[in-house]
Amino acid sequence: MKRIFQVLCGLLMTGMLLTSCLNSDDSTTTYYDDMAIMSFSLGTLNRYLHTTTSAGKDSVYKTTYAGSAYKMSIDQLNHKIYNTDSLPIGTDIRRVVCSATVRNNAVIYVKSLTSDTLNYFNSGSDSIDFSQPRLFRVFANDGSGCRDYQITLNLRTQKAGQLQWTQMPTGTELPETWMNGWEFSLSDDHDAIASSNDHWTTVVEEVLDTDPSLLPSANYSFACWEISKGLSYALLVGDSDGQEKAAVVWRKIIDPDKPTQWVYMPVDDNNPYYLPKGCRYWLLPFMEDGSVLAVNEAGTIYKSRDYGITWKSDSEMKAPVTTVAGAAVAIDGTIWLRGNDGTVWYCTVTD
């Protein structure tokens, strides 16, 4: 009986202790005095691109892409956050939804662009204008201090694969244009094409696929470059009386294993993308993307991605001079221009 009584007393005391704990009004909240942004990412971004309609008019269309693909680096020592890989040209960085994670429940505010006002940052929801670097202020959970971060979005200002010009020192000469070992010329009366691959020691009169009256009679230019192992592509453009508004285009695929001929490529009446007649052009193979450029004396650059069938001028691909006096492609594929003022420019390509 005594043993049963001891067990009952133990159970009663345990119940009283549990009741006391459950009914306690004491609740503990921990506050922290350190603060930091631990991660920062971009949401879906809008991008506006320029194009040309079939009628030749400029137009703009909108597309979107995942900003999270562009990693944001955090420099905790200098309190800076930025993207090392620049966002694509045309990205709207005035309206960017971004997300941030913080240490120990810190709170983020964003400084206004026009005043010292601080606005609470709602991560993942607020649209922020990053047209200039923004100050994000992180407050400690216990209110004891804060830390400022400068957040910058780097935006590409030039399309990847586009020309970027550097002026060379005075006296620099243009390199000799590389034609993949070939040289070409028109006869004096412009009714035949001659070629040589041994510096004119041996001369070959080329075979044409049509009437030689369609060969250029003025402003003509040749180019020749390798398109695959063992095969070269030769191109000829110029003015002909047989074509009213467009330059005539001839091409030949050079195959050392079999004879080939020059082929005339007529301009389709429905094709608005032709090379205008009445200009002197320098043909420059653009090795970066397999296209060919045609630069005229006014500095306008046309690009053909289909080996001379269609040509489009690119407003963002401009010559560095208003009047071109010469152009060349070096053996390494680099592009050079000389202006009427005697300056010489070397082309690099943005990555």
Task: Give the CATH number of the domain where residue 98 resides.
Answer: 2.60.40
Pairing of strands 248-254, 231-239: antiparallel
Domain boundary among 152, 177, 197: 152
Kindly state whether residues 248 and 132 are assigned to the same domain. no
Give me the pLDDT at residue 51, please. Answer: 59
Give CA–CA dist 160/317, Å, rounded.
11
Is residue 330 domain-shared with residue 247, that is, in the same domain? yes
Question: Which residue range(s) make up the domain with 223?
Answer: 163-349
Residue 148 and residue 256 in one domain = no
Looking at 102, 120, 152, the residue that finishes a domain is: 152
Reported pTM: 0.58
Identify whether residues 184 and 124 lie together within a single domain.
Answer: no
Same domain, 182 and 217: yes
Tokens of 108: 């983020």
Q: Is residue 69 part of a domain?
A: yes
SS3 12: helix
Q: What is the pLDDT at residue 184?
A: 96
- Look at residue 200 and tell me if it is in a domain: yes
Q: Any residues with CB less than 8 A from the CB of 208 and at least 6 apart, and which?
A: 192, 193, 215, 261, 262, 264
64 and 134 belong to one structural domain: yes
| Same domain as 147, residue 172 | no
How many separate domains does the chain show? 2
Q: Which residue in this structure is represented by tokens 């609470």? A: 120
Using an 8 Å Cβ cutoff, are 22 and 89 in contact?
no
Tell whether 311 and 209 lie within a shared domain. yes
Of 109, 131, 152, the residue at which a domain comes to its end is 152
**Residues listed for the chain:** 351
Q: What pLDDT score was predicted for residue 6?
A: 46
Q: How far is CA 91 from CA 49, 116, 121, 156, 157, in A?
A: 9, 27, 22, 9, 10
User: Taking the chain (351 residues) in consecutive chunks of 10 residues, what is each chunk's mean pLDDT?
Assistant: 43 41 46 82 89 58 89 95 88 96 94 95 95 96 91 79 80 90 94 95 95 94 91 95 91 94 90 91 85 92 92 80 93 89 82 52
On whether both 77 and 127 belong to a single domain, the answer is yes
